Amino acid sequence: MAKQQSVKIDLPSEFRFLCEDADVSPKDVLEGFIRDLCALPGSNGSDERDRAQAYFDRCGYAFMAQLRREQSGQIHTRNQRLGTV
């Protein structure tokens, strides 16, 4: 399993208010999204995993990373980095 890393981010008040209204902590929302995106134990289900991946793909994160790797000659697939191949 990959080593965990802590990050500090400034959360917009709109996000904090959404979480408050739903009676959920921002930490739980973000950790849930990460579990769904990475298909980790404790994810919220297959539909949520699919939607998290669709969001990630639609925003172009994976495409831009792949383009940078190809341009620099470092071609690695997501699965190789995650150790699932």
Q: What is the pLDDT of residues 43-61, one digit of tens each?
A: 999 999 999 999 998 888 8
- Mark the ranges of the chain whose per-residue pLDDT is less than 70: 1-2, 73-85
- Supply the pLDDT for residue 22: 98
The 3-class SS string of 19-74 reads HHHCCCCHHHHHHHHHHHHCCCCCCCCHHHHHHHHHHHHHCCHHHHHHHHHHHHCC
Does the global pTM surpass 0.75?
no
Residues near 18 by beta carbon (within 8 Å), at least 6 away in sequence: none
- Supply the pLDDT for residue 72: 74
